[in-house]
């Protein structure tokens, strides 16, 4: 008898349980990096630049929020991801599970729900580990503009890992 497809292939984002929704996060930390949204000549939102400066709550080793439950109290502009707003958030990295599923794509092979290993996101270089700097002492954000948070993850799947 065939196995049932995993929940992320069967359910739209809006139909997932809280536990399913939370499990989609791969722990890369890319969404927790500061971004700069430049105003265009008319004063409206223009170009987006990514930085390598981490939110003050992001643990740079684990790439997890230090106080996830209270993050909105501590960092009021922290964005709560929802099934409704994910398609509108152009700053989510292309590797983000929420973005990928909203775009009709599957999870990457290195995602912990696919390969079973939470550390794989770090091993393949998809996370901010070793690439981000702490907010405190970073100085002006415009001195930290980088492109990699907005780029796809190019990791080759080793045969011995993740069948």
Residue-level pLDDT at 156? 82
Nearest-10 Cα torsion for 50, 53, 54, 56: -130
Cβ atoms of residues 150 and 36 within 8 Å = no
Backbone dihedral angles phi then psi of residue 47, each to the nearest 5 degrees: -65, 155
Residue-level pLDDT at 26? 97
pLDDT along the chain (163 residues), means of 10: 89 97 98 92 81 98 96 95 96 97 97 96 96 96 96 83 56
Q: Tell me how far apart the alpha carbons of residues 130 and 153 are, in angstroms, rounded to a whole number.
A: 15
| Residue 150 tokens, joined | 């907005």
Please give the model's pTM, rounded to 2 decimal places: 0.90
Residue-level pLDDT at 162? 54
DSSP state of 65: B
Question: For the chain, which residues make up each domain, given as ranges?
Answer: 13-147
């Amino acid at each position: 008898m065939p196995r049932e497809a995993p929940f992320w292939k069967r359910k739209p984002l809006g139909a997932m349980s809280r536990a399913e929704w939370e499990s989609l996060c791969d722990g890369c930390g890319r969404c927790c990096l500061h971004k700069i949204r430049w105003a265009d000549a008319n004063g409206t939102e223009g170009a987006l630049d990514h930085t390598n400066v981490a939110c003050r709550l992001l643990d740079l080793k684990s790439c997890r929020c230090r106080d996830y439950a209270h993050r909105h109290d501590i960092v009021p502009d922290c964005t709560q991801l929802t099934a409704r707003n994910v398609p509108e958030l152009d700053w989510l990295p292309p590797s983000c599970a929420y973005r990928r599923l909203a775009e009709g794509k599957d999870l990457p092979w290195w995602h912990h729900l696919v390969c079973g290993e939470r550390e794989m996101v770090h091993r393949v270089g998809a996370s901010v580990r070793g690439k981000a700097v702490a907010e405190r002492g970073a100085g002006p954000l415009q001195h930290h503009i980088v492109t990699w948070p907005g780029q796809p993850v190019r990791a080759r799947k080793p045969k011995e890992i993740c069948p």
